[in-house]
Structure 1
Amino acid sequence: MNKKFLAFFIFFMFQSCQLFDKKVPDEKQLLNQELKKIDWKNVDEWPTFVQCDSLADKESQKMCFYNLLSSQLQEKLQDDSIAKLLPNIDSIQVKVTIFSDAKVSFEPILNDSLVVNRHQLDSVFQLRLASFPAIQPALKRGMPVKTELQLPIVLHK
């Protein structure tokens, strides 16, 4: 019985060596596999204001960020000059871009059918939003990334 066991053991040892003789994928294949796994549409951590950092869960931080961003935009864009430039509309979409270096840009999104002095509107936006509170950029795998979002702003006449 020992001879059968010894023969089986030796046979198994030679066969198991083939298990370790697998070909290792090259760097490019591994990189491509990892890149395919990453969800590029979503960030790991949303952009945030300093006031929202103390919140524990991500959903609360996200809601805090959106609420503060909306209220700050609403407050800073409450101006008669925008209402005069856009007399026929009661709200405007604002594209907010938060760059990875924490710079922020604001761009009004207008219908093509609106006849507006675009340069004058951009100037009012830049003037009103120049002292906007600092925003920390979103994070993806621990690295700051660019984020874009759109928010509606109600224009009070």
Structure 2
Amino acid sequence: MKHYSLFLVFLLFASCQYFEKQVPSEKELLQKELKSINWKEVDEYPSFVDCDKIEDKASRQQCFFEYLTQLIQEKLSTDTLSILYPELDTIEVRVTIFPNSKMQFEPLFPKDSVAYDTVKIDSILHARLVNFPTVHPAIKRGIPVKTQFILPVILKVE
């Protein structure tokens, strides 16, 4: 019996340290976690099926951008943009990929671009840039997220 009482006294003193600790609140933990997240980068970049086989993150990203640029150039190469605007050799396109795998393209023009009919170019791009292969959206912490980037698309290849 004496051993049991000694054991209980030891257990009582050893367990006191658990009562003294302060537990952080949920809000504090949430704020700490939100501050630790880098919101400017994604864990996995968007990808096409052909690029999914690549294991290296940087190589997969490069494959995606090269493949997308090539597809856009192919779709625009059959068009009259180079005939209508021979001085226009490169156009910047803002590409938005939504979490549901939808893609949106928006041409970007310099502020002083009065030499181009931006409405006409925009309508040509929207008519041509359709029927892309399925794209897997970017992933951030296991959740598909919206990504946006600007691609320079070369219209003339000489």
- TM class by shorter chain equals 0.7 to 0.9
CA contact (8 A) 1:138 1:145 kept: yes
Q: Could you list the structure 1 runs, at least 4 aligned residues long, displaced by more than 3 angstroms after superposition.
A: 84-87
CA contact (8 A) 1:85 1:121 kept: no
Q: Within the alignment, does 1:149 sit opposite 2:149 as a pair?
A: yes
Q: Distance in 2 between matches of 1:98 and 1:141?
A: 17
- Cα gap change, 1:92 to 1:17, in 2 (>3 Å): same
TM-score (norm 1): 0.83
Tell me the CA shift for residue 101 of structure 1.
Answer: 1.0
1:113 paired residue number: 112
CA contact (8 A) 1:85 1:117 kept: no
Q: Distance in 2 between matches of 1:49 and 1:60?
A: 13
2:38 paired residue number: 39
Q: Distance in 2 between matches of 1:48 and 1:73?
A: 15
Deviations 1:46-101 (A, max 9, x none): 00001111122212211211110111111112144222443433211111110111
Q: Within the alignment, does 1:95 sit opposite 2:94 as a pair?
A: yes
1:136 paired residue number: 136
Q: What SS is found at the alignment partner of 1:77?
A: helix
Q: What SS is found at the alignment partner of 1:60?
A: helix
TM-score (norm 2): 0.83
What residue ranges of structure 1 are gaps of 5+ in the alignment? 1-5
Q: Distance in 2 between matches of 1:23 and 1:85?
A: 71
What residue ranges of structure 2 are gaps of 5+ in the alignment? 1-5
1:71 paired residue number: 70
